[in-house]
Chain A
Amino acid sequence: MMRWVEVDGERYPATQGEQLRDERVVDGARVWHPRRSKAAAALVKDVEMPLEDARVLYLGGGAGTTPSYVADLARAVYAVEFAPSPAKRMVEVAETRDRLFPIFADARDPSEYAPVVEEVDILYQDVATRGQAEVAVKNAPFLRDGGRAYVVVKARSEDVTAEPAEKYEEVADRLGDVFDVDRTVDLSPFYDDHAVVVARR
């Protein structure tokens, strides 16, 4: 279950689960800090994310930090990461969460993990690379009808000189081909030049 806890006068989300390295614990709950996780930043910025008991496809799992929080809430989390060093840590994190399934693969080629990933309620993506929209589009078939997509856009991944707002719009446009785009939420002040596009299948 997700809770909200007060830390230094701010309200942050928190989850119940085995503690990982150097995170804060308040009242027995793991503080999900909006500066350490874009999903937490989105939650603090009032993005509704029905993670509880959901089946989640998580693209760009990194070292497993955010996936660990998601796995505290969800029924099943499929976390895809393609860089060996963070993936190594993600596998260790997955060992502490029995519904976190680590997948060492390139999210640009979802056919590789198609025999393992089931229908999901939520597609969450934080890959911070060129062609971010394309990755989400390729993985859209895993999402059930009415399922939700959260696509983190890093403006500078696409083009260092472009205006962030223009980049967000471009990504949202492309997502519009396969999703119903709901809105784009800027993640400042927690992350500069980052936004999350919220969409529905």
Chain B
Amino acid sequence: MTPWFERGTDADAVERAFDEGGEPAARDLPEQAVEEGVFGTREEYYDALHEATVEAARRRVDDAVDTAERDVINAVRTLESLNEQLNEVDERVRDWRDETGRVPVEDVVEAREALEEGRDETRGFIEERTPELAPNLSNLAGPVLAARLVALAGGLDELARMPSSTVQVLGAEDALFRHLRGDAPPPKHGVIYVHPYVRETSADERGSAARALAGKLTIAARVDRYAGDLRPELADELDEKIERIRGRDG
């Protein structure tokens, strides 16, 4: 097995070593590197290894985050498209059946089933991958809504930079423009409407609930982007806040 330092002493060397791999074993690599004259001392070995592993890990992690983000965004857009197609086909088939009592083209039924299968699989993919990309956002919003928010913002980075007032109306751009033209009141919520904390809050308090939810989602997106660890206390704080808001009426 070729140790990393025999391929160079920087991040490229570490990456090449990872690609090549080797047999796990207990070897005194710093000693060997010093003996081979690659480094003067063990401390120098560690200094170089630190710089190289940090850089190599950063490159690979950034790549992986990027791919994960593209996967999640594409999957949720595909999910929306499949849902629309399913609705449309269902409508057509219902009309057909209403008029003639049957649907005599078997492939239509099969195509519909295939669409449904594709939709379920896509949803499963989103449910698996979004929590890996954005654990806190998924925990608060559910993976599908979390993915929609990331997609609407154009990325987790972009979402994490948004003020919560913008997150609150993401997906309500048309209504926002009508409002800015002076034709309509400002929208109270965008896609976060599908969250039970908004949808199932009475109309009087729905705006407050949407604001509270958007605030926590914004924090969650920032934690996901800049920290990466799951913090269950965010969900507890949100639960409390909503309870207080709902307690105000009635």
Using CB atoms and an 8 Å cutoff, list the residues of chain B in contact with chain A. Answer: 1-4, 14, 17-18, 20-30, 46-47, 49-50, 53-54, 56-58, 60-62, 64-65, 68, 132-135, 224, 226-229
Chain A residues in 8 Å Cβ range of B132: 83-85
A114 vs B101: C-alpha distance when bound (angstroms): 67
A-B contacts, 14 of them at CB < 8 A, read A63-B227, A89-B226, A89-B227, A91-B54, A91-B57, A101-B54, A111-B23, A112-B18, A114-B21, A114-B25, A116-B3, A118-B26, A142-B26, A143-B26
A141 vs B229: C-alpha distance when bound (angstroms): 30
Tell me whether A120 and B61 are in contact in the complex, defined as CB-CB below 8 angstroms, given that A85-B228, A115-B21 are known contacts: no
The residue of chain A having its C-beta at the shortest distance from the C-beta of B133 within the complex is A85
Q: Is the Cβ of A98 less than 8 Å from the Cβ of B228?
A: no
Tell me whether A84 and B26 are in contact in the complex, defined as CB-CB below 8 angstroms, given that A63-B228, A91-B57 are known contacts: no
Q: 6 tightest CB-CB pairs across the interface, nearest first? A: A119-B26, A89-B228, A115-B17, A114-B22, A63-B229, A85-B228
Asked whether A39 is an interface residue with its Cβ less than 8 Å from the other chain, the reply is: no
Q: Is the Cβ of B135 less than 8 Å from the Cβ of A85?
A: yes
Q: Is the Cβ of B61 less than 8 Å from the Cβ of A104?
A: yes
Asked whether A67 is an interface residue with its Cβ less than 8 Å from the other chain, the reply is: no
Asked whether A34 is an interface residue with its Cβ less than 8 Å from the other chain, the reply is: no
Chain B residues in 8 Å Cβ range of A91: 54, 57-58, 61
Q: How many of chain A's residues touch chain B, expressed as a range?
A: 35 or more
A144 CB to nearest B CB, Å: 5
The residue of chain B having its C-beta at the shortest distance from the C-beta of A139 within the complex is B24
The residue of chain B having its C-beta at the shortest distance from the C-beta of A99 within the complex is B46
Asked whether A105 is an interface residue with its Cβ less than 8 Å from the other chain, the reply is: yes
Contact with B along A75-94 (1 / 0, CB 8 A): 01000000111111111001
